[in-house]
Amino acid sequence: MAQDTDALVAMTRILSPHCRVTRLSGGALIADWKRTRFLGMTTADVQKFAGVTSEERAELVTGLVRAGCATARRKAYVDAEIGLWLRSVHLLIRTLGFGRVLRLLPLAAPGYARADTPSPQDVARLKRAVQAHGRRSWFVDDDCKSEAVTAFVLLRRRGFKATLHVGVREHPFALHAWTAAAGLCIPAAAPRGHAFTPVLSIGSGSG
């Protein structure tokens, strides 16, 4: 029973948000409510999702992607691509203002297409790259808003869950922005030990 539950949880993480999986006596039923379609799976196929590294599991995921029940994950961004995004986001913030850029985020960073979270290693790598470019660039100059928005957009465009926070500190007054994903924050949520109280969070709900 526990193994079946683990398998269903693993499968749910792969499926697109509009799909729901229900355990049946002979396997599972995937309901695609976006297109009103149903896909049945045997018990053996369901149990393959509980494996961590399995060629058979990879074949099943490919089948779900082809059936439209899952979204293929985008490849990781290369370092130069991250730097280009960071500079572009910073220019957009300086041109339009931070508030307007936040309102444009649903266009640049659509709701995540997968229910799983990125690995801490993926987020740590992105954090190192974003902050390294931010420190090296005289144009960006270690700007927290640009780093947070860039991280949020890149994570969401890869289909991952991420939440962008804007926080405030009263004494002395200051604003700070960071993106949280997989238990990590880009940039740090409390820089130099100064805590900020979130007053706005984007991406913490279902969208």
Burial class (CB within 10 angstroms; exposed 0-12, middle 13-18, buried 19+) of 51? middle
Give the helix/strand (H/E) hosting 178. strand 174-181
> How far is the C-alpha of 49 from the C-alpha of 124, rounded, in Å?
26
* Per-residue pLDDT tens over the stretch 111-166: 655 555 678 888 999 999 999 988 887 888 889 999 999 999 999 888 788 999 99
Burial class (CB within 10 angstroms; exposed 0-12, middle 13-18, buried 19+) of 149? buried
Reported as a pLDDT band with limits 50, 70 and 90, residue 181 is very high
CB atoms inside a 10 Å sphere around CB 142:
14
Please state the length of the chain. 207
pTM of the model: 0.66
